[in-house]
Amino acid sequence: MTPPRVVIIAKGAPISIIIRLMTEKATFWTLLEKYINYFRECLSVPIYRYYFFLLIINSCGYCAGAYGMLYQTNVLHLSLSDIGVLANWGLIVGLVATVAQGWACDKFNPFRVSIFAQAALCAVNISAFFLSRDYHSYFIVNFLTSTFNVGWGIGMGAMNIFVFPKDKFAQFSTATNVIPMGVCILGNFVIGALFSLLNLSYQYMFVSFALGTGLSIIPLIVVFRMWRLFGGEHDYQAPPVPHLKPLWSLFGKDKAKG
């Protein structure tokens, strides 16, 4: 299906327009159904559904990333200059690793590279929880995570092309951002509540990272196996998205009747 049209209300628009858009039942339910069906299609086939599950799990694990700066300043007591140096080294490492990881994706296929990168990130984060205690140890953690995050990023971009149906590629690519981001709204709240409730040190952000990267490997392997069953590298045929029943018919209701 084509993406739903978005109505943007400019600042200073007549209040009557806003009221009309909010109160016209037919318009409201039609737009709501379009938005929901847009993402129902993305989750309608198992291989696509597992793909989005792995993105959701990985994204939720990184919800604790909001504590990164607090960890660097409050736990490691790094100066802003130290943080800047770490960031620059991360970019340099990423620049070099991008070439190597791109070659690896062409040589071994992006699924294997992504699985290896996620497993490595999980191991690095577990080690960081126990061993990252000062600037030098955190420098090593930053170096390794920058390297393997590049592998995950490049692998995921290539997997999008490998897995998604060509006729709906833009729709599915949009959903790879919107669905995990929507789930992370709740994830950020839960992570923040846990850190406050249990009075956790910012060091525990590495536990969250490790869980996200580690658990996401499970649906990633499932997607890899399904991709091979559907033809693999040389003969992959993306499963067609089925025609979906109107949303309201699932509840035995007719939206036109309200």
**pLDDT tens per residue across all 258 residues of the chain:** 554 444 444 445 556 655 565 555 556 677 777 778 888 888 999 999 999 999 999 999 999 998 999 999 999 999 999 999 999 999 999 999 999 999 999 999 999 999 999 999 999 999 999 999 999 999 999 999 999 999 999 999 999 999 999 999 999 999 998 888 888 889 999 999 999 999 999 999 999 999 999 999 999 999 999 999 999 988 899 999 987 776 666 565 555 444
Are both 38 and 140 inside the same structural domain?
no
In contact, 50 and 219? CB cutoff 8 Å = yes
Per-residue tokens: 230: 């559907």
Domain that holds residue 7: 1-44+244-258
Nearest CA to 4 out of 208, 171, 152 is that of: 171
> Does 126 share its domain with 107?
yes
What predicted TM-score, i.e. pTM, was given to this entire model? 0.83
Same domain, 164 and 121: yes
The residue behind tokens 């092309």 is 161
50 and 71 share one domain: yes
Tokens of 248: 């309201």
Tell whether 104 and 143 lie within a shared domain. Answer: yes
Is 20 found in the same domain as 52?
A: no
Both 99 and 154 in one domain: the answer is yes
Q: Are 51 and 42 in contact (CB under 8 A)?
A: no
Radius of gyration of the chain (CA): 22
Residues 224 and 187: their CA atoms lie apart, in Å, by 26
154 shares a domain with 116: yes
- Rounded distance, CA 113 to CA 105, Å? 6
Residue 232 to residue 161: CA distance in whole angstroms: 13
Enumerate residues 6+ apart whose C-beta is below 8 A from 51: 159, 163, 219, 223
Whether residues 81 and 25 share a domain: the answer is no
CA 161, 232, 155, 51 torsion: positive or negative? positive
If asked whether residues 23 and 80 sit together in one domain, one would say no
255 and 205 co-located in one domain = no
Could you tell me the CA-to-CA distances from 78 to 75, 84, 85, 97, 123 in Å, in that order?
8, 10, 11, 26, 24
Q: How many domains does the chain have?
A: 2
163 alpha-carbon distance from chain centroid: 16
Phi, psi of 163 (to 5 degrees): -100, -45
Residues in the chain: 258
Three-state DSSP at 90 gives helix
CATH of the domain at 233: 1.20.1250.20
Residues 256 and 150 in one domain: no
